[in-house]
Amino acid sequence: MIIVVCLYTGLLLASLVFAEAGAAKLAAERCSACHNTARICEKLGQRSAEVWQQTVQRMVSNGAKLSEGEARTVADHLGRAKAGAKPLCQ
């Protein structure tokens, strides 16, 4: 039983890490089409997830190519990301 619980917890953690890495990659790819990501990095760690949702929605209106789900994923990620987070920031 304990092995099952450990395995499950491990898989859950691994999938969270992959999801976070995927969101970071998505942001790095889609958010650098018009301006470089330094523009985002200046603000990382200063905005709540809610404000990032608004920012990302505004970028979609500006022409960013993100589905509704991708926009939410990216905004959630930016809300959690710390200043200087890779691969977004150099």
Reported for 25-33, long-range contacts at CB under 8 A and 24+ positions apart, including other chains, are 25/87, 26/66, 26/70, 26/73, 26/74, 26/77, 27/74, 27/77, 27/78, 27/88, 28/87, 28/88, 30/64, 30/65, 30/66, 30/70, 30/74, 31/59, 31/64, 31/74, 31/88, 33/64, 33/65
**Applying CB under 6 A, what is the total number of residues that bind ligand HEC?**
19
Considering only residues 16 to 75 of the shown chain, the ones binding ligand HEC according to CB under 6 A are 27, 30-31, 33-35, 39-40, 43, 55-56, 58-59, 62-64, 66, 74
Name the residue nearer to ligand HEC (CB basis): 14 or 33. 33
In the complex, which residues of this chain contact ligand HEC (CB under 6 A)? 27, 30-31, 33-35, 39-40, 43, 55-56, 58-59, 62-64, 66, 74, 78
